[in-house]
Amino acid sequence: MNRHPSLVLVISLLLGACAGVLGIRPTPSHPFEHRAHVLKGVGCLSCHAGVPSAGDSDGMHFPVTADCVRCHTTPHDARTCENCHGEAHVRGGAELARRHLKFEHRTHMPAAQGDCVRCHVEVGVERPEALRPKMAICFGCHQHEDQWRTRDCDGCHVDLAAEDTLPTSHLVHDGDWGREHGVRAASARDLCASCHSERYCAGCHGVGVVPALPSRLTFDDVRLSGLHRAGFRSRHALEARGQPGLCTTCHSERSCMDCHATLGVAAGSANQSPHPPGWLTTSRGGGQHGTQARLDPMSCASCHGGAGEKLCVDCHRVGGPGGNPHGRGFSSTKDKLTDVPCRLCHGIP
C-alpha cells in the first residue's frame, strides 16, 4: 500500500464521498440543542411563550432570534438563528401536526402539570428525529380503544386521508407493497380506509381507468414501484404470460380487446394469424393451442370470448373433431344441457 499513496488517497476520497451520499456521515448542521438547554435549567416557556394558552388555530410558537439574544447577548453570527438551528424536518413535522390534528395545548397543560417533556420526550435526545409526540404517547393517557377498534379517527385527526403521510409505527408499507398489499388488506379493509379514500383504490381497481391511471397522471413523479409504470405497454404481454391469472384478478377478460380496439391495435390482421406456426394442427393433440389455452385461458378469452367462442365450439362440441377440451381437475355443478356455456357443446344443436 505504501507504494501507491495516490491510490490510497483516491480510495479514501471515494469512501468519504460515498459516506456523504449514503448518509453515513451526518450532514454538517447545527440543530438546536434542546437537551443542553433543559439541562441548564432553561424552561420551555422561556422560548415558547404563549403555549399554555394556545388553542387549535393559534400560531406555532417557534422562537425567533429576539428570543435567543435575550440570553445569548453576543451571537456568533449576525444572521437569524433559525436559519441554521431550526431543522426543516422538525418544523415541518410540527406544522403538519397543526394542520392535520385537532389539538389544543391549553387543555393539555393542566393535565401535564406544566411538564412539557412528558409528551415531548425526544427533547431529551441528543439529535431528535422529531419533537412532535408519537401517537403512542397520546395513548399513554387517552384510552381510545373503542375509537381504534372502530377506526373512528375523526376525534383527533382533521382528515386522515388528506394527511398523505405513510404510517411509520404500524402497518409500515416497506416491502414489495404492490404485490403484498392485497393479502395485507384482506383482513383490514377498514384500517386501509382510514387513510385511503375510494378514489385512491379506484385509481387502479376502477373499471376502464386507463386514461386516469395514477402512473399516467403523475408521470413527473418517477418511482420504481407500481405495476403499470414506464414501458408497460411494451412488456405487458410478457408480464401477463409470466403470471397467468394475475390480470384477471382486476381486469375482465374483455379488457384486452376493449383496450386494443380503443387504441386501434389489433393482435393480428384479417389475413395474418397472431399465433405461431404449429399453433393448430390436424395431428393428435391439435398443436400447441390446447396446452397454451389451459395455461393462460384469459389470453384466449380476450379475443375469442363471446361470439368468438363459436370457433372453439365448432371443433370441440360433443362428437366434434377436436375432442373433449376438459383438462384435468375439471368438474362443474352446472347442468350441461341447459346452462351456459355447457349447452354450447352439450346441448341439442
- In the range 129-188, which residues lie near another protein by CB under 8 A? 146-147, 149-152, 154, 158-159, 161-162, 174-176, 179-180, 182-188
CA 293 – CA 286 distance, rounded (Å): 12
Other Cβ atoms within 10 Å of 97 Cβ, number: 16
Binding residues for another protein restricted to 268-327, rule: CB under 8 A: 291-298, 300-301, 304-305, 309, 312-313, 325-327
Among 107, 197, 273, 281, binds another protein (CB under 8 A): 197
Residues 7-66 that bind another protein (CB under 8 A): 21-24, 27
Tell me the window of 8-16, 35-43, 119-127, 200-208 that interacts with another protein (CB under 8 A).
200-208
Strand partners, 157: 101
Q: Is 246 in the site for another protein (CB under 8 A)?
A: yes
Q: How far is the CB of 91 from another protein (least distance, A)?
A: 12
Element (H, E) at 94: helix 88-100
Length of the chain: 349
- 178-to-136, 181, 249 alpha-carbon distances in Å: 28, 6, 14
* Three cell numbers, residue 312: 372453439
Nearer to another protein, 112 or 342 (CB): 342
User: How many residues belong to the site for another protein (CB under 8 A)?
Assistant: 106
Residues 210-239 that bind another protein (CB under 8 A): 211-212, 216-217, 219-224, 229-231, 233-235, 237-239
What is the DSSP secondary-structure string of 181-242? HHHHHHT-HHHHHTT--HHHHHHHHSTT-GGG-HHHHTTTS--S--SS-SSHHHHHHHHHHH
User: Cell numbers of 8, please?
Assistant: 490510497
Candidate segments 7-15, 43-51, 73-81, 339-347, binder of another protein by CB under 8 A: 339-347
In whole angstroms, the minimum distance from the beta carbon of 201 to another protein comes to 5
Minimum separation from the CB atom of position 331 to another protein (A):
6
Left (φ > 0), alpha (ψ -120 to 50) or beta: where does 109 sit?
A: alpha
